[in-house]
Structure 1
């Protein structure tokens, strides 16, 4: 049954919009939540059912400049910057912030009786630089190709190490499958590679085929092509800027290790960005403990809906900052594009959440926290998807594909299993 709105009004002091429905119920919607979830083409990619609006561009203290009710079926809002948003009555009714409405919707989205569990792994406290030839004041590391260098340990983005295996050559830049890379030579080298991938948040290296066969099979296949696509089913498959994110928080158990292989690179734009999420969490906790508490205690809905290898509709709930029983950060779960329009918290907690999230994202974007580099054809980067957040600068679309990366995932459980077996083999000299 279609919902009808009897009255809509802006509560300026509270920065809320109040709606009275034809069934006698009343709903309150925070202005910042409405602006964040604008459904216009500038803010929302309908083909991917995903948000395009970046947190960086969101005014968390926004308010409603003008409000109009159209035929009891649509709310038309003009914002202070003259941007306009339209919200259908049924869309709003479904996302009502009342406890009753939220409980009903959560029951539809999940099977509460089944529940879910997550296995966590600790992460090392240091990361190192993937493209040391860009940096300064480095120490040479014998045996590593492409001028690899090791930076002094600290909590800055310079702590990323370049660790290609010296016994193999880089993959052919035109090769479009991670599974076709050159055979890895020796269990000891593979063991060293896995240790490097485990202890360091990001590694620039060749991917051993013996690991490729254990890669995640997701709705985008074992590997997926990051390039500009018509009717893109993911915001990554556009030319726009990608803000810092971890991949696939829409899964209850997000992939732990990510691989990106550069096949083709655009001449202008398309630079990669990375940030150490654990370091940013430490800064946030020191500077604003309340914001840290909000992001480490608030469950956020994530979703991914579409068709690729198969059709899919994925839904999960995560705290953006996952901590263990000792208060240590063990995983970051954040992708603004797949953060759901559905938000299962009381209305009075929405504004503080956005303020905390804005501060978290602002810290990520501090110059001293992020590392910017450009991948070249043949480069493969491997990184900890539970710790590092990555992004991409925008680039111009052309008549043909100008930038092409291929990606894949592995589970930390699989990687650690292989590492334990290889360490035992190497130790015994087999």
Structure 2
């Protein structure tokens, strides 16, 4: 780059590489802006005088706010936190309730909140870590829906074909991306169908192990659904099987039901019936709020007494719970419905019993009106959320040339959600 000076009696003119100096300086500024590193955003930290919360204000957006006690409880220093096990070292009885912030600041270079406490303890928190734990509504909602559990998509009869998802059995076994999509379908829509499974009695067991661990019940690791002499379960009969959930008599009810069709009846019967129990509960809440409250609050006695086959151990299972169960946030968590497994002992008052039957009748009316019917074929695996879906079967005829044979297994939702998170967040640290 050359600087030239032109002298005249009228004025002095400056040139840089033949350009007027003003144009040259503009070109230099553009060049420097491309070469120099971007300036880090200016972030401020302070203690709000009125609320006492620590606030971190970035250049964009609303301030991030944190209770002082929460920051001290979650100090990430080596003395307070064991990184290898992702666990606190501190004991609450020696903890942070009455120790306040003495000084707070933000390190622009390290992009960290720095806190000095009244007892001289020092804490640092990465800004990315803080953003993920913001107490604002948007961050809380994002965590609950993206990490904790995907929100359920409730559906009625008219929505069935739109929400129905099908996957290839071998793809689920061999491809992590397909496994993730299948588990998300079970979490969101509540059911899915796998196609192309081999004629192998271990298919349900292979799928359970692909997720994690099979749930063993009084009916074994796996169970067979077919006509049996001296049947110990109503499902083993050829009569119509009303809409129900499996095992309402278990406190820890099986999460998903995996039903592999080995042989399908060629008669008109033996078709699957299905209703979204959460959708039924939501309609009852809208149309009959008082009846919804009855089914949400009145406990029902569910039972299962007997044995499964001549060689099995006897069982006597009991659990009391309402038809509609809510979670900690007021959402639908579990539906209990099984007419064949509802105990004749109803441990409530006379008045509650009468109001319950009236509410129960409305619930079943909605469930039956929203039920869909379809028939799986040999090689299909019908998998559904047993906490949510009411399923059943139409009657069929069992004859030498007309058999129906399914093999099933269960997996708990704790295991399913864990597997889904490892697939979605393989590099998660905490």
Identify whether the pair has TM-score above 0.5, normalized to the shorter chain.
yes
Distance 2:328 2:182 in 1: 30
Cα offsets for 1:300-331 (capped at 9, x unmatched)? 01111111242211110111001235432221
**1:334-353 correspondence runs (5 A):** 334-353=337-356
Q: How far has the Cα of 1:342 moved from its partner?
A: 0.9
Tell me, yes or no, if structure 1 residue 408 matches structure 2 residue 409: yes
SS in 1 for 2:319: strand
Aligned pairs, number: 267
Matched, 1:286 2:286: yes
Gaps of 5+ in 1: 1-120, 129-152, 169-182
Instruction: Tell me the residue number matched to 1:418.
Output: 419
What is the CA–CA distance in structure 1 between the aligned matches of 2:263 and 2:281, rounded to whole Å? 34
The two structures have a TM-score, normalised by structure 1, of 0.58
Distance in 1 (CA, whole Å) between partners of 2:169 and 2:223 is 27
Asked if 2 retains the 8 angstrom alpha-carbon contact of 1:127 and 1:159, the reply is: no
Go from structure 1 to structure 2 and tell me whether the alpha carbon gap of 1:231 and 1:213 turns closer, same or farther (over 3 Å shift): farther
Partner of 2:301, secondary structure, is strand
Distance in 2, Cα, partners of 1:400 & 1:311? 33
- Cα distance, 1:386 vs structure 2: 1.1
CA distance in 2, matches of 1:345, 1:167: 50
SS, match of residue 160 in structure 2: coil
Deviation at 1:276, TM superposition (A): 0.7
CA root-mean-square deviation: 2.5
The answer on whether the counterparts of 1:160 and 1:201 sit within 8 Å (CA) in structure 2 is: no
Residue in structure 1 matching 2:179, options 175, 187, 190? 190
Q: Which one scores higher on RCO, CA 8 angstroms, separation ≥ 6?
A: 1
| Aligned residues of 1:127 and 1:161 also touching (Cα < 8 A) | no
> What's the secondary structure of 2:174's corresponding residue?
coil
Q: In the alignment, does 2:384 pair up with 1:357? A: no
1:15-414 pair list within 5 angstroms: 124-126=151-153, 156-165=159-168, 168=171, 184-205=173-194, 208=207, 210-211=209-210, 214-268=213-267, 269-308=269-308, 309-366=312-369, 369-399=370-400, 402-414=403-415
The Cα shift of 1:126 comes to 1.9
Moved more, 205-214 or 401-410: 205-214
Call closer, same or farther: CA 1:166–1:239 in 2, change over 3 Å. closer
Question: What is the CA–CA distance in structure 1 between the aligned matches of 2:356 and 2:331, rounded to whole Å?
Answer: 21
**Relative to structure 1, is the Cα distance of residues 154 and 387 closer, same or farther in structure 2, using a 3 angstrom cutoff?**
same
Greater fraction of residues in helix: 2
CA distance in 1: counterparts of 2:424 and 2:301, whole angstroms: 39
Q: Is the 8 A contact 2:238 2:396 kept in 1?
A: yes
Cα deviation, 1:250-299, whole Å, max 9, x if unaligned, reads: 10111111111111111221111000111111111121111111100000
**Cα distance, 1:298–1:320 mapped onto 2, change above 3 Å:** same
For residues 322 and 422 of structure 1, the distance between their equivalents in structure 2, rounded to whole angstroms, comes to 29
- Alignment CA distance shift 1:255-1:167 (3 Å): closer
Q: Secondary structure at the match of 1:194?
A: helix
Change (3 A) 1:159 1:387: farther
Q: CA deviation at 1:191?
A: 2.7
Could you tell me how far 1:125 is from its partner in structure 2? 3.1
| Inter-CA distance 209–408: structure 2 relative to 1 (3 Å threshold) | closer
Give 3-state SS (helix, strand or coil) of 1:157's partner.
helix
Contact 1:190–1:208 at 8 Å: present in 2 too? Answer: no
2:49 is matched with none
**Structure 1 residues 315 and 348 mapped into 2: Cα distance closer, same or farther (>3 Å)?**
same
Task: Check the 8 A contact 1:126/1:200 in 2, yes or no.
Answer: yes
Which has the greater radius of gyration? 2
Cα pair distance change 1:122/1:386, threshold 3 Å:
farther
SS of 1:337's partner is helix
Question: How far apart, CA to CA, are the structure 2 residues paired with 1:163 and 1:124?
Answer: 20
User: Any conservation in 2 of the 1:184–1:209 contact (CA below 8 Å)?
Assistant: no
CA displacement, residues 52-93 of structure 1 (integer Å, 9 cap, x when unaligned) = xxxxxxxxxxxxxxxxxxxxxxxxxxxxxxxxxxxxxxxxxx
Long gaps (5+) in structure 2: 1-147, 198-205
